[in-house]
Amino acid sequence: MWCSRTALGRLQRIAPCTVTGHHRAMSALPKVYVTRRIPPDGLDILRKSGQVQFELWDSDDPVPRVELLNKVKGCDGILCVLTEKIDAQLLDVAGPNLKVLSTMSVGYDHLSLEELKKSLLIWACIFCRGIRVGYTPEVLTDAVAELTVALLLATSRRLIEATHEAKTGGWGTWRTMWLCGHELANSTVGILGLGRIGVAIAERLKPFKVKKFIYTDVEPRTELANMINAEYVSLDELAKQSDFLAICCALTPETHGICNWNLFSKMKKNAIFINTSRGGVVNQEDLYEALSTGLIAGAGLDVTTPEPLPTHHPLYTLKNCVILPHIASASYTTRNAMSALAANNLLAGLRGEAMPKELKL
C-alpha cells in the first residue's frame, strides 16, 4: 500500500510515527501506476532503475475504470496503454502530483489532449509544473509495415477464403476463375497519411513491381515522398487512381470517418482497401455497403470500432473482408521495444530531463 505525504502528515499530527530509513527512502520516490502487464523489457527498466515505486495492474485484460481511478490518486507518473482513456475525470482524480504520462503506443487518440493542455496551463500557474506526455513512435514501424503487406496480400489474393474452402470441402477440381484475386504487379498503390509507416509499406511493396505510388496528406511530404518516388494527389484522385489503398493516418477530428461512402464511391471496383491505422477513420456502415454491393473488391482491417468488434457485426459475414484483432505491432521485438521506450520516457520525465520521445502539447 502506498502512503501519501498528505496521509502521512495527518498520521503525524494524530500520533507519533516512526519511519525507518528504508521506508523513508521509499516514500521519497515518485509513485507510478502501470495500467497493464507490459512486456518484460519495460518492467525490468522500471524495477532496476531504483528511481520509482510502482504498482502494476498485473493482467492482460484492461484495468476496470473504477480501479484505475482509485489507483492514480496522488501518482507522480502513469504508464498506460491505448485502452485507457485519459480524460478530464482521470486527470482531476490523479491530482496535482501528476507530472508524467507515458503511453505505450504511437497513437494518442485515447488521450484528451485539450484537457492535458488545460491542466498544463492551470497547474503551471498554481503548482509551477505541468503534465508531460511520452509515446512510442518509430520502434513499431517495421512490424506495422510487415503486417500491412501481409494483410494486403491475404485480402487481395483471398487467402483466408481459400483456406476455408480447403478445410470445408470446397476444394474440388481445378477451375479457371475460382478464387482469382488481384495482383500488385503494374498496380497503383495509394497511401492516405504519408509518414514513416507509409514509406516502410511502400519500400516493401516496391519489389512486387508496383507501377506507381501516390499519396495524400494535410500537405505535401516532399522529403518522405522522394524516398519512394510517390506523387502527391488530392483525396479524390487518391480514391480514383488506387488499385490498393493503405490507410496510415492518425485519428484526429479531421480524419475521423474520412473513409466513407464519398471515398468508396470514387474507388475502382477492383480496389483493395487496407486499414492498419485506427478504426475511427472508417465509417464501417459505408464500408459494409461498399463491400456487399461490389463497389470495391475487398478490405483488410487490423483496426475497428469498437475493439473488439462484436462477433455479430455484419462485416464478419463478408467473404471479401479480412479482419484481424489489432496485431500490427505484435512481434516480440517490437512490443518489448515499445515497453522499454515507454519506461524510459516515464523515468526521464520524472527526472525533469528530455524524454527519448515526447509528444509536444
Query: How far is residue 85's CA from residue 110's CA, in Å, rounded to a whole number?
Result: 5
314 & 204 share domain: yes
97 & 233 share domain: no
230 & 339 share domain: no
For residue 328, tell me if it sits in a domain: no
For residue 324, tell me if it sits in a domain: no
User: Could you say which DSSP state residue 310 is in?
Assistant: P
* Structure confidence by residue, pLDDT tens digits, 246-287: 999 999 999 999 999 999 999 999 999 999 999 999 999 999
Contacts 24+ apart (CB under 8 A), 216-224: 216/190, 216/191, 216/192, 217/192, 217/193, 217/249, 218/254, 221/194, 221/195, 224/194, 224/195, 224/196, 224/198, 224/199
Residue 235 has a pLDDT of 98
Report whether pLDDT(10) > 90.
no
Residue 1 has a pLDDT of 33
Q: Which of 8-22, 33-47, 121-135, 251-265 has the lowest mean pLDDT?
A: 8-22
For residue 26, tell me if it sits in a domain: no
Residue 5 has a pLDDT of 34
The x, y and z cell numbers of residue 299, run together, are 478490405
| Catalytic residue positions, numbered | 326
For residue 145, tell me if it sits in a domain: no
For residue 229, tell me if it sits in a domain: yes
For residue 329, tell me if it sits in a domain: no
User: Could you say which DSSP state residue 140 is in?
Assistant: T
* Structure confidence by residue, pLDDT tens digits, 124-137: 454 434 799 999 99
The CATH number covering residue 185 comes to 3.40.50.720
Domain encompassing residue 110: 31-138+334-359
354 & 313 share domain: no
342 & 296 share domain: no
Average pLDDT over the chain, rounded to an integer = 91
Instruction: Name 242's Cβ contacts closer than 8 Å, sequence gap at least 6.
Output: 188, 189, 190, 214, 267, 268, 271
Report whether pLDDT(156) > 80.
yes
Backbone angles phi, psi at 342, to 5 degrees: -60, -40
Band (pLDDT 50/70/90 cuts) for residue 27 is low
Band (pLDDT 50/70/90 cuts) for residue 119 is low
The x, y and z cell numbers of residue 129, run together, are 509544473
Residue 114 has a pLDDT of 86
Residues 323, 309 contacting (CB under 8 angstroms): yes
46 & 90 share domain: yes
Residue 126 has a pLDDT of 47
**Domain tally for the chain?**
2
- 48-57 mean pLDDT: 97
Q: What is the strand order of the sheet 31-34 is part of?
A: 53-56, 31-34, 77-80, 100-103, 132-134, 358-359
Residues 185, 336 contacting (CB under 8 angstroms): no
Residue 261 has a pLDDT of 98
214 & 306 share domain: yes
Query: How far is residue 12's CA from residue 148's CA, in Å, rounded to a whole number?
Result: 58
Backbone φ/ψ region at 262: left (φ over 0), alpha (ψ -120 to 50), beta: alpha
70 & 107 share domain: yes
163 & 309 share domain: yes
For residue 22, tell me if it sits in a domain: no
206 & 272 share domain: yes
% of the chain exceeding 90 in pLDDT: 86
Residue 351 has a pLDDT of 97
Residue 21 has a pLDDT of 43
Report whether pLDDT(359) > 50.
yes
- 295-323 mean pLDDT: 98
- 220-245 mean pLDDT: 98
* Structure confidence by residue, pLDDT tens digits, 56-80: 999 999 999 999 999 999 999 999 9
208 & 256 share domain: yes
- 135-148 mean pLDDT: 97
219 & 284 share domain: yes
Q: Are strands 358-359 and 132-134 parallel, antiparallel or unpaired?
A: antiparallel
Residue 46 has a pLDDT of 98
State the maximum Cα–Cα separation within the chain, in Å, rounded to a whole number: 88
For residue 1, tell me if it sits in a domain: no
